[in-house]
């Protein structure tokens, strides 16, 4: 990886599950697997998704039949890893590396039997490097993708019955030799089809590795059926077919809901199965309409922590392989149960402005454990929606004030205090406070919305901004006023990377809002003018490049890495970072260690212990399903769910919080980043001292602060003139106060 902007970095950052590169001998890289072509058989029954109506419908009138999920064991891997899984003529097979390659076949009673593997020791012929997540076999010949560490080039090896590896010497028709195959297919004539999610779908001669032709554009999944190539086109929300020999487009089949995790699986009758973010769909040969076979929102497919690596179809049964956030594997079986109601008769409704990963994880688990309950979501601001936040809130409030509305409210971005005052939220203290009293939940965070001994809402995650870098700066103070004084005393030294005014306004809103607005939201003009002057002082526009002043909209991850590199190389004194998981500390620790004489503190007044509640959940006082909602909240705050790292904040569950910062002696993961300036940063897993210090900061969190996004939009808009030098701080403060007051009246 040579620059921050490479396609490979964008691809890695896009993945929900973080992948760790480990050398052979220390443990090979664990990545995705490939399902072989031609594995579907027969027609499947459909999940009957007919509406049942209310929960009092007589049983004889309830539509019956849906899939039931069952967890199956995988073969023991020891310290090895799963290379791949798929279906040959002999049955479903799993390929596991444990010093040698072992092959297991799934029996009729869902157990595994080890098989003879003539090529079991072939993997040891490879040099130091890592397995590149793709394996293809037809039962006689096997192909794997592997990267040698010394050259960072992806190679495709063929393993024959003679137990020898043959390098196919693929001459990649890509921008670089490091390819991350999403799909690997072998055609009857031996040619290879390789799909890379960012670089395209290409065909290569197996005889000499030469490039033959390209098919369409990049695709997360492809399938070959007869003389056609099918591939998912995410941007067009479709599946396209191409002629295998000419590469010409034959047909475009619309399909909503496809994304980078969608998969195509051929059946044995010339049709296709498609897994997308809504369900498993089937297309008969020659058809143009997808038929929903199974909704996936009630199963493990909907868990944010799980990445579906493989979907295998056998007769009327689905098998799915998942990888979890910590690299663990899960194997699930889905069998159609005719005597099970197609839709649970108990339905609970959840509202959130935007998706909340931990709650989605908890709800998926709850539905699996309680199949008689269906939890339905309403997302106020869905991707692509033209609704404004104010419109979404207005529609929600209309329902609530009418005595209706969802059972469970995710209050992030909503007026929590107003809902508390108007009696919208149920008091949860009777059942929730014992969790705090017994030390199961971090009480200082869990009690964020306690008022007069009543508890109206509970955050299921939390975070807080921190300051990393020069120790001398940190010792002089970490709140806005002290940092502004430092800039005044050091006019030629750069405090921060080139943050825009909006980035600084957002960062210091959380730690200063109580000094310039009261509990009702009224702005103190004099205090706010001082706040603006200090923001400009720490921004140091006189030290910024003119073209970068006031810019915004860059990739946040890239900006974060660039800011840490600035600190590491001494170009700036400190950097603001709001970690959402212990993993996020890795790069910051590496930057500090490279700089030397560095540390980190909570941003703002240390004694206050300001933190940001995340995933704030409350129960609608008018809900008819309060017991179920209580169980969902308890599930979300259980150590089982809370220990899963979804990058949406730190655990409120005390056990899970402490476990997340526990030092793992066996963690030898390491990686490096670099930018276009040639600056490099090497990160390893040894940061136990930072884990302990950060855990203490988590435990000292005391004061919840939630940003009012509408107010922030007002602030950003009305202060532009001040930061451009077109108005005074007092004039800008007056404009903000006036607009804010009008907003409060609404």
Domains of the chain in start order, with CATH, are: 19-49+64-343 (2.120.10.30), 361-461+613-660 (3.40.190.10), 465-608+668-745 (3.40.190)
DSSP reduced 3-state for 726: coil
* pLDDT score of 410 more than 90: yes
* pLDDT score of 25 more than 60: no
* pLDDT score of 17 more than 70: no
- Find the radius of gyration of the CA atoms of the chain: 28
**Phi, psi for residue 351 in degrees, rounded to 5:** -115, 135
Degrees to nearest 5, angle at CA 77 with 75 and 83: 90
Question: Is the CB of residue 308 less than 8 Å from the CB of residue 221?
Answer: no
Q: What pLDDT, on a 0 to 100 scale, did the predictor assign at position 116?
A: 86
Residues 6+ apart with CB under 8 A from 234: 219, 220, 258, 259, 260, 262
Q: What pLDDT, on a 0 to 100 scale, did the predictor assign at position 38?
A: 31
Q: What pLDDT, on a 0 to 100 scale, did the predictor assign at position 683?
A: 78
Question: Quick one: what percent of the chain has pLDDT higher than 70?
Answer: 88
CA distance 442 to 535: 33
CA distance 8 to 6: 5
Question: 157-216: per-residue pLDDT in tens?
Answer: 998 767 788 889 888 877 677 888 888 889 988 899 998 877 789 999 988 899 999 999
* Number of residues written out for the chain: 746
Question: 608-617: per-residue pLDDT in tens?
Answer: 889 999 999 9
Please, what is the average pLDDT of the chain? 85
Residue 693 CB coordination number (10 Å): 15
* 6 vs 425, more confident: 425
CA distance 628 to 407: 9
Degrees to nearest 5, angle at CA 728 with 724 and 733: 105
**Phi, psi for residue 112 in degrees, rounded to 5:** -110, 135
In what helix (H) or strand (E) does residue 8 lie, and over which residues does it extend? helix 7-14
Residue 169 CB coordination number (10 Å): 12
The single-letter DSSP state of residue 653 is B
**Mean pLDDT over residues 29-54, rounded?**
38
DSSP 392-445: HHHHHHHHHHTT-S-SEEE-TTS-HHHHHHTT-BPP-HHHHHHHHHTTSB-HHH
Residues 6+ apart with CB under 8 A from 369: none
- Nearest CA to 168 out of 202, 189, 192 is that of 192
Q: What pLDDT, on a 0 to 100 scale, did the predictor assign at position 667?
A: 60
Residue 554 CB coordination number (10 Å): 13
**Mean pLDDT over residues 17-42, rounded?**
31
Question: Is the CB of residue 80 less than 8 Å from the CB of residue 307?
Answer: no
Q: How does strand 238-243 pair with strand 650-651?
A: unpaired
**Mean pLDDT over residues 46-58, rounded?**
44
Write the CA distances from 321 to 38, 84, 260, 300, 457, integer angstroms. Answer: 18, 10, 17, 10, 36
Strands in 598-602's sheet, in edge-to-edge order, are 574-577, 466-470, 598-602
């Amino acid at each position: 990886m040579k620059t921050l902007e490479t396609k490979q970095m964008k691809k890695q950052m896009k993945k929900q599950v973080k992948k760790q590169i480990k050398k052979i001998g220390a443990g090979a890289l664990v990545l995705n697997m490939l399902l072989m072509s031609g594995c579907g058989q027969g027609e499947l029954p459909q999940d009957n998704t007919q509406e049942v109506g209310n929960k009092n419908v007589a049983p004889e009138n309830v539509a019956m039949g849906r899939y039931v999920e069952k967890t199956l064991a995988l073969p023991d891997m020891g310290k090895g890893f799963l290379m791949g899984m798929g279906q040959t003529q002999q049955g479903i097979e799993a390929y596991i590396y444990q010093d040698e390659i072992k092959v297991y076949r799934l029996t009729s009673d869902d157990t595994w039997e080890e098989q003879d593997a003539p090529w079991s020791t072939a993997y040891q012929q490879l040099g130091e490097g890592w397995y590149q997540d793709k394996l293809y076999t037809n039962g006689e010949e096997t192909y794997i993708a592997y990267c040698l560490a010394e050259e960072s080039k992806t190679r495709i090896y063929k393993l024959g019955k003679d137990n020898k590896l043959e390098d196919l010497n693929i001459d990649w028709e890509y921008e670089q030799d490091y390819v991350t195959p999403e799909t690997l297919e072998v055609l009857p004539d031996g040619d290879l089809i390789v799909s890379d999610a960012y670089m395209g779908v290409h065909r290569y001669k197996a005889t000499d590795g030469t490039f033959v032709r390209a098919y369409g554009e990049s695709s997360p999944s492809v399938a070959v059926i007869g003389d056609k190539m099918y591939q998912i086109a995410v941007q067009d929300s479709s599946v396209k077919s191409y002629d295998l020999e000419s590469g010409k487009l034959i047909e475009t089949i619309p399909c909503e809901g496809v994304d980078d995790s969608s998969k195509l699986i051929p059946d044995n009758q010339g049709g296709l199965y498609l897994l997308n973010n809504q369900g498993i769909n089937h297309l008969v040969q020659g058809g143009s309409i997808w038929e929903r076979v199974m909704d996936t929102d009630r199963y493990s497919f909907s868990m944010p922590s799980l990445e579906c690596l493989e979907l295998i179809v056998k007769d009327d049964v689905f098998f799915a392989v998942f990888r979890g956030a910590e690299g663990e594997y899960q194997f699930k079986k889905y069998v159609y149960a005719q005597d099970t109601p197609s839709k649970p008769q108990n339905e609970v409704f959840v509202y959130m402005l935007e998706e909340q990963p931990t709650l989605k994880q908890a709800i998926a688990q709850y539905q699996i454990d309680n199949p008689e309950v269906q939890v339905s979501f309403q997302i106020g601001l869905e991707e692509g929606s033209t609704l404004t936040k104010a419109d979404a809130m207005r529609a929600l409030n209309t329902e609530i004030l009418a005595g209706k509305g969802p059972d469970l409210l995710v209050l992030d971005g909503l007026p929590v205090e107003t809902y508390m005052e108007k009696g919208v939220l149920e008091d949860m203290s009777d059942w929730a406070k014992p969790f705090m009293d017994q030390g199961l939940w971090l009480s200082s965070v869990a009690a964020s919305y306690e008022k007069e001994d009543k508890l109206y809402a509970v955050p299921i995650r939390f975070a807080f901004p921190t300051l990393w870098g020069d120790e001398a700066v940190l010792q002089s103070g970490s709140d806005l006023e002290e940092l502004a004084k430092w800039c005044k005393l050091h006019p030629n030294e750069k405090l921060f990377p080139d943050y825009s005014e909006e980035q600084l306004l957002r960062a210091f809103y959380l730690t200063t809002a109580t000094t310039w607005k009261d509990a009702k939201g009224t702005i103190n003009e004099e205090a706010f003018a001082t706040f603006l002057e200090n923001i400009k002082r720490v921004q140091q526009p006189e030290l910024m490049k003119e073209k970068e002043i006031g810019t915004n909209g860059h990739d946040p991850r890239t900006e974060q890495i660039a800011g840490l590199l600035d600190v590491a190389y001494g170009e700036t004194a400190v950097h603001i970072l709001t970690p959402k998981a212990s993993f996020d500390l890795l790069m910051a620790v590496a930057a500090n260690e490279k700089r030397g004489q560095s540390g980190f503190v909570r941003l703002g007044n240390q004694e206050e212990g300001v933190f940001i509640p995340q995933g704030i959940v409350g129960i609608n006082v008018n809900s008819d399903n309060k017991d179920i909602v209580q169980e969902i909240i308890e599930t979300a705050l259980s150590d089982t769910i809370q220990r899963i790292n979804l990058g949406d904040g730190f655990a409120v569950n005390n056990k899970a919080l402490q476990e997340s910062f526990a030092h793992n002696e066996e963690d030898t993961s390491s990686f490096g980043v670099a930018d276009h300036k040639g600056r490099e940063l090497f990160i390893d897993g040894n940061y136990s001292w930072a884990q302990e210090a950060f855990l203490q900061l988590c435990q000292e969190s005391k004061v919840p602060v939630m940003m009012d996004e509408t107010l922030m939009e007002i602030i950003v808009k009305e202060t532009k003139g001040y930061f451009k030098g077109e108005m005074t701080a007092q004039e800008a403060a007056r404009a903000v106060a006036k607009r804010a007051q009008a907003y409060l009246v609404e």
